């Protein structure tokens, strides 16, 4: 219907989450109307983020360089590891200012129906960190969803299976069931963090 480059842009935009065909068209026309500087600025930002941002070799959070800023920070308490599903979940926890430990980003949650098995997540790496480090507590902050809960129990089992003196805790209830951590407000999340309970 459109010139090939316009079609291509619409196709690429429609791959973004929550962007249907109509919205993709609207965004494509916005880009066409935008100044060259703004449009190429967007293209450059996408290229730069893909070229420069990778995963931290320790915690698998987003990182510019081999280790993320949190893992590099000497003041962080390495005896406490907070386990989250996605890099986006680190931000709301940091915003609460209630947490001084380090993180471990799994890269998703267990969901056999969708073909997400333990080996698809960074669980072996987490167990390695607990086994080899001086870890006292693993705080599981996966989302309060079915797959988040299943992941929490799987990890609790694996950590306890090490037979080390490590407590495994889960964020207190109060987080809306089925909600994403990413969208929790900081007061609720701060309370859930302070009130965490043993698993
Ligand atoms: Zn890190």
pLDDT in tens, 147-198: 999 999 999 999 999 999 999 999 876 666 666 777 777 777 887 787 787 8
> How far, in Å, is the centroid of ligand 1 from the Cα of 61?
5
> How far, in Å, is the centroid of ligand 1 from the Cα of 98?
18
Q: How far apart are CA 106 and CA 122, in angstroms?
A: 5
Stretch 48-71: mean pLDDT:
96
- Kind and range of the H or E element at 198? strand 197-198
Residue 3 confidence (pLDDT) above 80? yes
Residue 16 confidence (pLDDT) above 80? yes
Residue, of 188 and 143, whose pLDDT is higher: 143
Between CA 138 and CA 142, with CA 139 as vertex, the angle to 5 degrees is 125
Predicted local confidence at residue 191, as pLDDT? 74
* Per-residue pLDDT tens digits for 63-107: 999 999 999 999 999 999 999 999 999 999 999 998 999 999 999
> How far, in Å, is the centroid of ligand 1 from the Cα of 58?
5
Predicted local confidence at residue 147, as pLDDT? 93
Predicted local confidence at residue 174, as pLDDT? 62
> How far, in Å, is the centroid of ligand 1 from the Cα of 102?
8
Tell me how far CA of residue 73 lies from CA of 54, 77, 79, 102, 132, in angstroms: 18, 9, 14, 9, 19
> How far, in Å, is the centroid of ligand 1 from the Cα of 67?
5
> How far, in Å, is the centroid of ligand 1 from the Cα of 187?
25
> How far, in Å, is the centroid of ligand 1 from the Cα of 152?
20
> How far, in Å, is the centroid of ligand 1 from the Cα of 70?
6
Predicted local confidence at residue 139, as pLDDT? 96
Q: How far apart are CA 129 and CA 80, in angstroms?
A: 11
Task: Name the residue among 57, 83, 77 with its Cα closest to residue 134.
Answer: 77
């Amino acid at each position: 219907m459109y010139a090939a480059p316009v079609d291509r842009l619409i196709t690429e935009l429609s791959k973004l989450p929550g962007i249907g065909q109509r919205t993709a068209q609207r965004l494509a026309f916005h880009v066409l109307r935008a100044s060259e500087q703004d449009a190429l600025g967007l293209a450059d930002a996408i290229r730069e983020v893909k070229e420069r941002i990778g995963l931290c070799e320790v915690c698998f959070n987003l990182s510019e360089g081999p280790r993320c800023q949190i893992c590099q920070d000497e003041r962080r308490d390495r005896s406490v590891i907070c386990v989250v599903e996605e890099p986006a979940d680190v931000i709301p926890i940091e915003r609460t200012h209630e947490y001084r430990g380090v993180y471990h980003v799994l890269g998703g949650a267990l969901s056999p129906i969708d073909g997400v098995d333990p080996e698809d997540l960074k669980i072996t790496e987490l167990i390695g960190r607990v086994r080899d480090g001086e870890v006292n507590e693993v705080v599981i902050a996966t989302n309060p969803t079915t797959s988040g809960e299943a992941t929490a129990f799987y990890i609790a089992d694996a950590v306890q299976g090490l037979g080390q003196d490590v407590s495994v805790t889960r964020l207190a209830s109060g987080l809306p069931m089925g909600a994403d951590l990413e969208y929790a407000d900081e007061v609720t999340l701060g309370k859930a963090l302070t009130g965490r309970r043993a698993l």
